[in-house]
Structure 1
C-alpha cells in the first residue's frame, strides 16, 4: 500500500501534524489507562485468598523489625490510635519504644456472609508530622486485608486487628457494613483454621470529635483481655460524609462471648 504523503500547503501540513500528534497522545493515554486497569485486576486477583499468587505488598513497605531505630521515639502499634485522617488511615500517637511481638501468622480471612476471601498481609506504620506533632500513621493494604503489626495472632488470647479499604482498587471491606451478629469469620494462620463469630458491629464518628471520644474509639484496636477479632474500615465511601465514620466489627472464638467495652458517653452506635 502506498505511503500517504504529507499535504502540500503549510496549513494542511500543520493540521496533518497536529492530527498525528493527537492520535499518538491518544494511543499513549489508552495504553496507560489499560496498564492501570491490568495492574488493578492483577492486584485484586493476587489478593484473593483462594489463589497461590504472592499477595500484594502494602501501600509502602513496613518498617523492618531489625532496622536501626529512628532518631525520634518509635511508636507502639496499638497505643492511643486515632482514626481521624482525611484519607481514612489509622493514626496513633508516638509512644515509647516497645519491641514488637511475634510476626503476623495470619495469611487469609474469609467472611462468607459478604463474600470476602482475601489474603492477609502484615502492615506497619509511618511517622509523619501533623499539627506540629509526630504521629504514627498506619498503613492499609492496597488490595488485601492488613494485619496490624503488634496486635495478636489467633490463639494468643488478645486483640487481632485487621483493616481494609472500603474504596479504591481493592475494596476488600466494601460490604463490611452488611456484616451482622452471628456471621462467621475464619482466619487461616500457622497451617490452621480459626473460627470466630461476630458479636457486634459498631459505627464510630471520627471527624470533628473530641480528644476524649477519639481515645474511647481507640480502645477498639487496643489489647484485650480475651481473644477478639477486630475488623476496621472507613465509612461511607462517598458523599459529603466520606470517611468521617469507621465501621468496627468485633468477633470472638466460636462458642465464647464478647467482653463488652463500656459505652458510657461514647456516642457509639451498635447495629
Structure 2
C-alpha cells in the first residue's frame, strides 16, 4: 500500500527577491519605452529629411529655428503696406552674439512692402554637390539689441529657407536662400565645395530658372568686428540686379564651429 506524502507548499519569495523582481520589470518597461521613444524621434527626423528632398512629392516640412520667446519684441506678421512705405535699401546691423553662434542672421527690420511680398521659390538644385531641396519661406523675429530693434532671421530646420521679402526669379533682384550646414537637415552641408561656373537651378511658380555661380566667399562672423558683420549681412540685402545668394555657416564641426559664413552668389545663365 502506497503512502501519500504530504504536499509541501513552495516557500514565498523573500521581500528582497520581490523587490528585485519588481525593479527588474520596471527597468525593462522603462527600457522598452525609451527605445520606442528614441526610435520614434529618429523615424520622424528621417521622414522630415525625406520630405525636404526636392525629388519627393510630399509636402515640405515647415519647421524653422526661432529665437527664444523671452527676447522677442514682435514677430513678422504680414502688415498692410502704406503709400509712405516705399522699398529702399535696408540698413544692416550686427547680429546679437547668441544669434551668430546659432547660425542666424540679423538685419534692420524689413519695411512693410517687403513683409507682404510672397516668396515663390519651391526647389533648389545644385548638381555638382548633390544638393536638391525643397524651399520654404522664412521670416524674422524683432528683438532689442544695444537699444535698437533688430530682425533675426529664422532658419529652416530641414529644407532651404527663402528670406521673406527677397526677390523671386525674374524680378530682377536678390534671391536669398539660407540653410543649415549641420543640425538635423544639413541641407547645405556641401555648399562650401561649389566652384564658380557651376550651375544652380531654381524652380519657382512652375518654371525652371538657371543661374551660374560667380563666387564663393568664406567670411569671418563670430569673431569679426561689428563693421565686418554688417558688411557680411549686406550681401543678403537688395542689389539692383537679379542674382541668387546662398548662405550657410562654416565649419560644421570643431572648435571654430559656425564661426564663419559661406556665401555663394550666382547670376542668370546666358
Instruction: Establish whether TM, by shorter chain, passes 0.5.
Output: yes
CA deviation profile, 1:147-203 (whole Å, cap 9, x unmatched): 000100001111000000001111000001110011100000111100000000000
Which residue of structure 1 aligns with residue 213 of structure 2?
A: 198
Query: Which ranges in structure 2 are unaligned for 5 or more consecutive residues?
Result: 1-11, 67-74, 81-87
State whether residues 77 and 149 of structure 1, in contact with CA within 8 Å, keep that contact through their aligned partners in structure 2: no
Distance 1:252 1:107 in 2: 18
Instruction: Check conservation: 1:164, 1:233, Cα contact below 8 A.
Output: yes
Question: Does the Cα contact within 8 Å between 1:58 and 1:121 map onto a contact in 2?
Answer: no
Whether the 8 Å contact between 1:77 and 1:150 is mirrored in structure 2 is: no
Distance 2:163 2:93 in 1: 12
Query: What TM-score do you get using the length of structure 2 for normalisation?
Result: 0.83
CA distance in 2, matches of 1:78, 1:234: 22
Q: Which residue of 1 aligns with 2:45?
A: 40
> 1:142 & 1:78 partners in 2: Cα distance?
26
Task: Tell me which of 107, 130, 137 is aligned to 1:122.
Answer: 137
CA distance in 2, matches of 1:254, 1:81: 32
The root-mean-square deviation of aligned C-alpha atoms, in Å, is 2.3
Say if 1:114 and 1:179, in contact at 8 Å, map to a contact too. yes
> In structure 1, how many angstroms separate the alpha carbons of the residues matched to 2:153 and 2:60?
19
Deviation at 1:100, TM superposition (A): 2.7
In the alignment of these two chains, the number of paired residues is: 242
Preserved contact between residue 229 and residue 252 of structure 1 (Cα < 8 Å): yes
Aligned partners of 2:110, 2:161: CA distance in 1, in Å?
A: 21
Give the corresponding residue for 2:7: none
Residues 1-271 of structure 1 aligned to structure 2 (within 5 Å): 8-59=13-64, 63-66=76-79, 79-80=91-92, 82=94, 85-94=100-109, 97-130=112-145, 133-255=148-270
Per-residue deviation at 1:136?
Answer: 1.6
Q: Which moved more, 1:180-189 or 1:77-86?
A: 77-86
Do 1:81 and 1:90's aligned partners in 2 also have CA atoms closer than 8 Å? Answer: no
The runs of 5 or more residues in structure 1 that have no matched partner are: 1-6, 68-75, 256-271
Q: Please report the TM-score for the alignment, with normalisation by the length of structure 1.
A: 0.82
Kindly name which structure, 1 or 2, has the bigger radius of gyration based on alpha carbons.
2
Is the 8 Å Cα contact of residues 162 and 178 (structure 2) preserved in structure 1? yes
